[in-house]
Structure formats: structure tokens, C-alpha cells
Amino acid sequence: MFGSLSGNVLEYNRVLRILFKSVLQEFKVSLDDDVLCWFKSGTDLRLPSSEYALLRGKEILLTCRYYRGVGQVFTVAPRSFRGKLKDVLSLDLGYSGNVSVLHGVMNAVLKHLGLISKSEHCVEREPELCGYALYDEIISHYGQNVRVLHVGYQPGHIKVLAKFLRDNLVVTDLDESLVWRTKHGRLVVDGSLNKYLIAHVDVILLTASSIANNTAWDILNHAKILGKEVIVYGVSASAAIQLLRSKGVINVRHFCPYA
């Protein structure tokens, strides 16, 4: 089950649910404990521009709470939820709204348990500062001439990376309002070309929301086959990455300094 990333996307969420349940058992968490999920507006975060996905209206930030733990996840299929952990574990994962609840609750629970430190979205100008931190991270590990594929348009990242990496940066997205438009001097390429582009870069920067919305797995599998480095950025998949790494399913780094 854990040897490959190829297969039906539904299976990955089932694997995550199994791993999550094993953590609950290990920490003797009661499945009768209550959890609550609700929507949070992107305007509440006071982001620096309307270019961010939460302000473009395509995605919503689902926020879940479990005791002291708060977990957030990007979703295009938001649904509120009030119930018990056992209800979360029995959700039909064929529906993307339920998958979002699973990821949000996993983030909240693992934050409460101290297994992850990044579970809430950054605010105000922090997404732009994140761009500089990301550039430093890339250069320190891979050098100035590294070729980068940035999957998912994050304006704070692209503004900085485009300035310094120039033609060594390729940006992709699935949003039709962005594709084939120039942003910060870089053309935003159709995300359907990701598998082709992976062969021509050294490092893939993969948005965490792609794990929560089931678009990441082909990219991760292809990167693994070609031996490419992957850095997952963002808060949505904090718990998922922790769970998958703990069982050796994926070997990726997680970058989210201001969450």
C-alpha cells in the first residue's frame, strides 16, 4: 500500500485516514472527542493584494478546531462540520468537501498533539516575506543556477523568485483566469503540462493545497520516478506530509515559515 504513489487518488486519502487513525490510537485519543469546522474569509487575513487565491474567490479557507489545536486547509468545496472524531473517520472520501474536513481536522489534531507546528495560514505581509525566505532556502540548498518549477501561483513567491531566478523559473496553475498570462515577468503555464515540465527542472515547489484537493499525486509520482527534489509549500498539507513521511510514503520537504 505504501510503496507507490501511482493509483486511484481515493486510495491516498484512505491511506491518510488509516495513518491518522493509528496516531489517534497511539496517543489514546477518544474518538468521541468533538471537532468543529467553519469557513474563514480571506479578507480576515489582511493579505497584501487581491491576487492571492483566497481573495480571487476560487478557494475558501476551512478552519477546524480540536481542543487547543486549530487547523486550516484551502478548499474549492467548502462545507461546515460539527461532530466527533469517529464521524470524521467515517466520511465518504469520494466527496471533495469531506476530504477537506479530513485534512483540516488532521491539522488541528496533530497541532494539538504537538506533532506539527504549522497549521494556520499566515497573515498580512507574511506571504510576501515568505517569498524571500523561500528564495534563501532554495539558493542555500541548490545554488544560484537551480531550475525551479513553481506549481501554483503564489504572488509573494513569484514576485521574488522571478526577480532572482529569471528564466530558471517556470510557474504553472490550473486557474483559467491566470493561465497564459504574465505575472511579475513570468508566463503562467497551464498546470496540465506539469508532468512534462518536471523533466526540465531540478526542483519542484508544490502547493500544499494540491495534496488536499487530490491534484498532487501524479506530480509526486513523476518527480519520484525522475529523481527530482520536491518542496511542498503551504499549510494545507502539514498533517498529511507528517503522516506520509513517518511511514516512508513520500520523501519531500515542507516549507511554511510564517504559518
Encode pLDDT of 157-186 as tens digits: 999 999 999 999 999 999 999 999 999 999
End-to-end CA distance of the chain: 31
Q: H helices within 53-95, ranges in order?
A: 53-56, 85-89
Question: Using one digit for the tens of pLDDT, what is the confidence trace for 224-244?
Answer: 999 999 999 999 999 999 999
Find the mean pLDDT for residues 30-45.
Answer: 89
**Count of residues in the chain:** 259
pTM of the complete model: 0.92
**CB distance 231 to 200 below 8 Å:** no
54-82 confidence digits (pLDDT tens): 777 678 899 999 999 999 999 888 789 99
Contact between 228 and 198 under an 8 Å Cβ cutoff? The reply is yes
148-162 mean pLDDT: 96
Q: What is the mean pLDDT of residues 45-57?
A: 80
Distance CA 15, CA 249 (A): 10
- 251 burial (CB, 10 Å; 0-12 / 13-18 / 19+) is exposed
At 215 the pLDDT is 85
Alpha carbons 68 and 207: distance in angstroms, whole number? 26
Q: Which residue has the higher pLDDT, 197 or 46?
A: 197
On whether the CB atoms of residues 64 and 54 are closer than 8 A, the answer is no
Q: Which residue did the predictor score with more confidence, 215 or 115?
A: 115
